[in-house]
Structure 1
Amino acid sequence: MALTTQTMTDEQRKSVALEYLKAFDNGGVTSTGGAILDLFAEDAQVYFPKWGLATGRAEIGKLFGDVGATLRSIRHDYASFNWIFSGSDTLVAEGTSHGEHQDGAWRAGVPEWGAGRWCDVFEIRDWKIQRVFIYLDPDYAGRDTARYPWLAGTSTKD
């Protein structure tokens, strides 16, 4: 891991996190036309539920490729984000999303128990994402209901 050389403000870290989320919505392309992986440090880590921990840009690219291949579209609801700043390199973004997965469409709150709510914990230093741990339900289409007694017999239309 490289030594810290630039001091960043919370708002600057937030701008990097927003660029990452918007690039995800834009098929992995940043606002400047670069690749989403350019936002990451060489030795960065990303965690995604049911995939695991990816370390380094090559593994992160594989994770994003695997997850992205299951999504037809995604849109984060930027106006409703909740940002939590730690006063250090760490910040948390909580929000909602909607889109279409290979198994069907999703929208946060439809149904209330379904996918679409998420929380990302970022560590951003020197204008690069060092770490992002993504917490969400990867069952976007809400098909995994039989294993949960409180959801058995429901559908995403409930």
Structure 2
Amino acid sequence: MLVNETKERTWHGHVKLADSFFKRFRGLMLVRNVNYAMVFVLPAETKANASIHMFFMLSDIDVIWLDSARRVVDFKTARKWRFYAPKEPAKYIIEGPVGLIKTLDVEEGDLISWTPSEEKERAVPVKVSLPDGLSFEKGTNGMALTESVREVKVKGN
């Protein structure tokens, strides 16, 4: 979720963080239908670090540059196969589907915040030997698919 705190506007889409070198390098390149936002956390607040290229992009995107206080310093709809740099130094970059800027009603100076979407770990079937008195309601032959110990029940209780 992205929030323009200045104007109390919210975008309820999926948000991912690009907070490592590899995630920032990969970004949204080769993503066919951008239907989520990506917040890039840059190592330093500079214009050079905040420059982006649209090479190998399969669609146009909306881009919002923020300073270290999360204030908008620049924004635009970025077109494929072009290069962009913000007007002022930036610490964060938000890239998302075209229409994101309009939904948040973004203007320079607005305060933007975000909440990354949770990404659950995948449950994997594991064979376990159970002590007497323990069972999994839906499991058979010692096979169980569980995400927490709250799902384990003791017989007779």
| TM-score bin (small chain) | under 0.3
Q: TM-score, normalised by structure 2?
A: 0.24
Q: Over alpha carbons, which structure has the higher Rg?
A: 2
Q: TM-score, normalised by structure 1?
A: 0.24
Structure showing the higher helix proportion among its residues: 1
